């Protein structure tokens, strides 16, 4: 279709028959004439719409999840943390896969979370929600999403029952524990870690992430 806009003659490709029916071609022609009458270049609009469609299709959960994983890997996170994040996000990717971010709503995310929750894995479901939310927040930060659908699900999941373990306060019980640690025949590093826990009383995560080259000799 030939047309003139802003003093320039242009050509709009509508498509070839039979890929584009006569009815569809006539509608496209009429739409183009309306756009020209309103001062809109139909060829330019077609290119912009194609770019927008391609851009939206690239904003899939799996692609943004991979971007997020690359980000936290560059932040020098612990290997165990990276593996755990990958494990959670693989579960989400299995459900969302190539679905564009703007199509993933809170009910859709909840369906994904109900799977581990239905198996009684309440803590897994909660951590999965957190991982999915991290991907969406990363997408928002880089301009690929407008909202985080996990925010509305904060109180939607069953809270896991936390069993608190009483601290050992009896010298006799503490002695029995240290004797048991001395008799431990597993990995040497685990045995050392158990001794350090008893001596320093630090958080388990701090001990787990401690580096050998950071230890100060007595």
pLDDT at 54: 47
pLDDT at 52: 45
Q: What is the crossing angle of helices 42-58 and 22-37, to 10°?
A: 110
Whether pLDDT at 192 is above 60? yes
pLDDT at 51: 40
Backbone φ and ψ of 10, nearest 5°: -135, 170
Question: At 40, is the secondary structure helix, strand, or coil?
Answer: coil
Mean pLDDT of 195-212: 77
Distance CA 9, CA 3 (A): 6
Backbone φ and ψ of 3, nearest 5°: -155, 165
CB 129 within 8 A of CB 117: no
Whether residue 18 is preceded by a cis peptide bond, meaning omega within 30 degrees of 0, is yes
Q: Which of 27-31, 69-73, 145-149 has the lowest mean pLDDT?
A: 27-31
CB 75 within 8 A of CB 39: no
What are the residue ranges spanned by the domains of the chain? 17-58, 61-153, 171-210
Mean pLDDT of 168-197: 83
Whether pLDDT at 153 is above 60? yes
CA nearest to 104, candidates 62, 67, 74: 62
Fold category of 61-153 in CATH:
DNA polymerase; domain 1 (1.10.150)
State which of 56-65, 130-139, 193-202 shows the largest mean pLDDT. Answer: 130-139
């Amino acid at each position: 279709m030939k047309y003139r806009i802003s003093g320039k003659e242009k050509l709009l490709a509508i498509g070839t028959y039979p890929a584009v029916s006569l009815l569809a071609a006539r509608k496209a022609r009429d739409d183009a004439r309306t756009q020209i009458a309103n001062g809109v270049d139909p060829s330019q609009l077609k290119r912009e719409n194609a770019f927008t469609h391609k851009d939206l299709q690239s904003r899939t959960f799996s692609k943004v999840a991979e971007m997020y994983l690359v980000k936290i890997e560059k932040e020098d996170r612990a290997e165990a943390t990276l593996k755990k994040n990958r494990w959670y996000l693989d579960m989400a990717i299995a459900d969302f896969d190539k679905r564009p971010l703007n199509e993933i709503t809170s009910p859709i995310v909840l369906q994904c979370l109900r799977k581990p929750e239905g198996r009684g894995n309440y803590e897994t479901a909660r951590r999965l929600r957190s991982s999915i939310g991290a991907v969406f927040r990363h997408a928002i930060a880089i301009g690929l999403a407008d909202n985080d659908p996990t925010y509305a699900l904060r109180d939607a999941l069953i809270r896991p029952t936390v069993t608190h373990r009483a601290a050992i306060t009896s010298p006799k019980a503490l002695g029995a524990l240290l004797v048991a640690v001395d008799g431990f025949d597993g990995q040497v590093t685990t045995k050392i870690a158990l001794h350090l826990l008893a001596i320093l009383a630090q958080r388990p995560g701090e001990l787990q992430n401690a580096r050998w080259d950071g230890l100060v000799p007595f």
